Structure 1
Amino acid sequence: MIDVQRLRVLRAVADHGSFSKAAAALHLTPSAVSQHVAVLERSLGAQVVARSTRGVTLTQAGQIMVGAAESVAAELEQAKQRVEQLSTGRVQLTVATFTSGGRHLLPGALARLMATHPRTLIHVREGEPEDTLPLVRQGAVDLALAYHFDGPLPVGPGPSSSLQWAALLEDPLHVVMPKEHRLADRESLGIAELATEPWVLGCLKTEAYLRRYAERAGFEPEVRGTTTDYFFARSLVAAGMGISLIPSIALVPTVPGLCAVPIEPPTPTRHIGVATIGRRRDRSHVTTFIEALREQAMHQIGDPRTTTAGGSPATGSPA
């Protein structure tokens, strides 16, 4: 019989990439972690990690077992919630979300959920996708409102086959600049046309994305400021520090004196969706909440050229 604790240890090793870091996270000694893994390997008759001076990586057998470990953890957490529901009559829903998505999509979806399932106890956790998607796999949250750019989902170490991804909307990035800027009246702009402009960005991942697109266009962007808040970045643009690259749903609330210009294809775009574990989606309140998020997404994106120029936000279908 496979010990659940040893599966938990293996999952920590996969998440942290070394016995010592896994030991610190589990409050064990590295020797104890190594022993747990060795016993697991003997019981399976297969090597689950490949050891090297740079740390450890999962073998194919190890990937299978980490997937099983995450399924077991998710099942145990769901069983715990069902037991609590027996005694309290209330069902729990834990939602993880990134900031701009949570601000614009969650409130309406939560209101619909509470109207349909009034005895649902809701918890919301904020975090970036690379932090929240592993929590979905582990059963620590029921679902995550998340995004990715033109690469795969940032699910973290270990297998991601247990995740189900439901796309909600495409969130194209726009160039935000003062209305008196020489390019402000353009219908669209190519990234190469912005080679001499200074930049202020509202997200580290947006900066990395800009640098990739700028490299393709043959220039190195001059980044004068990087923040963790898109509204703050737009405020710095309004102060004259430079231009910015902002996702459509982060163009509200408005900042007077600014406009947003679409980027010509290939347009940098955030792909927003919701991640769940398959079994979690079978629960009626989870299904209701995902459908409510879809409705919010359908009415989210308007014309960003008007939403940042000081007018009221327009609504329409997502791009």
Structure 2
Amino acid sequence: MDAKRMLIFGAVVRAGSLAAAARELGWTQPAVSQHVRALERELRVPLIVRGARGTVPTEAGLIVLAHANAVAARLRAADAEVAAIADSTAGSVRLATFPTAGATLVPAAMEVMVRRAPGLEVRLTDAEPPQALGLLDSGDVDAALVFRYDDEPANSDRLVRTLTDHPLGEDAIRLVLPAEHRLAGRQRVRLTELADERWVGGCVQCREHLMRVCARAGFAPDVRHSTDDYVIVQSLVAQGLAVALLPELALRSVRNRGIAVQDVDGVGIRRISLTHHPDAAGIPALRALVSALTETRTSPVTDLAVG
């Protein structure tokens, strides 16, 4: 396969149409179309279907897209490594991170990087783990800071199996109650004692975790509210509208005066890691980020009292 045509094909799929890809590349639409058709002739299979909703990859097109993204990632890594020869103290890394880490772990690591090598920078994008991995797969970021619950089914996705993973420790899950709740102040709470409560659900992974732990405790939670904003979660709880499970990082970032935080049996932990394509390991800013995150992962974060 022609690598240049693969990259053009990847741009077409990401942009959603030949015209949009042409604008992105600064080419004419016929030129882009010609390269895609030539790639299809090389492979002897159609790669895209043009319809009312734009350009959609076929099954063969999805396979080519995965390799095109890998080629793009390797080219960026090569560019970064060559630049590092000239100046290993300059450059950037594009990072996708989930919100609680973006409010705690990442700023602390970035501060370390600024002190050690001001020319290295992190360009941050906020994204929950599934979206962050999608950005990594498409080449829109160089690394993703993600979490996985310890009871979460193993991810057998092709992308995940090929990534380099840097474990960054565990994040405890805590029960958040209204300050005046009947269970507030207890040394430990059993999940079964909350079977009749109203709940706030978090991000998709967090809601699925809540459903699993409650099912093991023998009940289905009454999820009245759904938000991945942990400030809103705490506000709802503080007003006596619901209870919730929140990770320790969320509580280290912001702590509402109107809540009580309890240990609860049977909810487990979530594990945090930084992940990237193996070929990106040569990016100087990524190496510095891994080092800074490893150093600061247990550093305390000042609590902010709100509400």
TM-score tier by shorter-chain length is 0.7 to 0.9
- The amino acid of 2:111's aligned partner reads A
Q: Distance in 2 between matches of 1:215 and 1:164?
A: 33
User: Deviation at 1:256?
Assistant: 1.5
3-state DSSP class of the match of 1:241?
A: coil
**Structure 1 pair 119–191 and aligned structure 2 pair: CA distance change class (3 A):** same
Counterpart code for 1:151? P
In structure 2, the gaps of 5 or more residues are 24-30, 50-55
Give 2:69's aligned residue. 70
d(CA) in 2 for partners of 1:176 and 1:216?
19
Q: Is the 8 A contact 1:130 1:154 kept in 2?
A: no
Conserved 8 A contact 1:145-1:275: yes
Of structures 1 and 2, the one scoring higher in RCO (CA 8 A, sep 6+) is 2
Q: C-alpha displacement at 1:299, in angstroms? A: 3.1
SS at match of 2:135: helix
CA contact 1:199–1:223 (8 Å) conserved in 2: yes
Instruction: Give CA deviations for 1:117-163 in whole Å, capped at 9, x if unaligned.
Output: 221243211122222223223332221212233134597xx644442
Deviations 1:153-206 (A, max 9, x none): 597xx6444421211122122110123322223333333221101112343432
Query: Which residue of structure 1 aligns with residue 28 of structure 2?
Result: none
Aligned to 2:165: 165
Q: What residue is the counterpart of 1:259 in the other structure?
A: 260
What's 1:104 paired with?
Answer: 104
Equivalent pair of 1:230/1:250 in contact (CA under 8 Å): yes
Distance, in Å, in 2 between the alignment partners of 1:160 and 1:269 is 20
CA contact (8 A) 2:8 2:36 kept: no
Correspondent of 2:153 among 151, 154, 162: 151
- Cα displacement string for residues 225-262 of structure 1 (whole angstroms, at most 9, x for unaligned residues): 22231122111111111211111110132222422222
Give % identity: 30
CA positional deviation for 1:280: 1.8
| Structure 2 residue aligned with 1:175 | 175
RMSD between aligned alpha carbons? 3.9
Query: Conserved in 2, the CA contact under 8 Å of 1:202 and 1:229?
Result: yes
Amino acid at match of 2:94: T
Give the 3 Å change call, closer, same or farther, for CA 198–2 of structure 1 in structure 2: same
1:12 positional shift:
6.8
Give 3-state SS (helix, strand or coil) of 1:298's partner: coil
Distance 1:103 1:66 in 2: 33
Aligned length: 291
- Name the TM-score, length of structure 1 as normaliser: 0.73
Give the corresponding residue for 2:52: none
Taking a change above 3 Å as real, the CA distance of residues 10 and 282 of structure 1, as seen in their structure-2 partners, is closer
Name the stretch that deviates more: 75-84 or 221-230. Answer: 75-84
Give deviations 1:292-317, integer Å, cap 9, x for gaps.
Answer: 11222223599xxxx79x7xxxxxxx
Letter in 2 for 1:74: A
Q: 2:260 is aligned with what amino acid?
A: C
- Which residue in 1 is equivalent to 2:122? 122
Partner of 1:192, secondary structure, is: helix
Mark the CA change 1:285 to 1:80 in structure 2 (over 3 Å): closer, same or farther: closer
Query: Which has the higher mean CA deviation after the structures are superposed, 205-214 or 248-257?
Result: 205-214
SS of 1:220 mapped into structure 2: coil
Aligned to 1:317: none
Letter in 1 for 2:277: I
1:111-260 correspondence to structure 2 within 5 Å: 111-149=111-149, 150-152=152-154, 159-252=159-252, 253-260=254-261
How many Å separate the matches in 2 of 1:294 and 1:10?
34
User: Which residue does 1:43 correspond to in 2?
Assistant: 42
Question: Are the aligned partners of 2:110 and 2:121 in contact in 1 as well (CA < 8 Å)?
Answer: no
Between the aligned partners of 1:74 and 1:295, the Cα distance in structure 2 is: 27
Q: Which string of whole-angstrom CA distances, capped at 9 and with x for unpartnered residues, describes residues 257-301 of structure 1?
A: 422222323x24322111112122233432221121122222359
Q: What's the CA shift for 1:83? A: 7.3
Please give the alpha-carbon distance, in whole angstroms, between the structure 1 residues aligned to 2:300 and 2:12.
Answer: 38
1:11, 1:66 within 8 Å by CA — same for their partners in 2?
no
**Whole-Å separation in 1 of the counterparts to 2:164 and 2:234:** 34
Q: Distance in 2 between matches of 1:44 and 1:129?
A: 34
Q: Which runs of 5+ in 1 are unaligned?
A: 311-319
Aligned match of 1:314: none
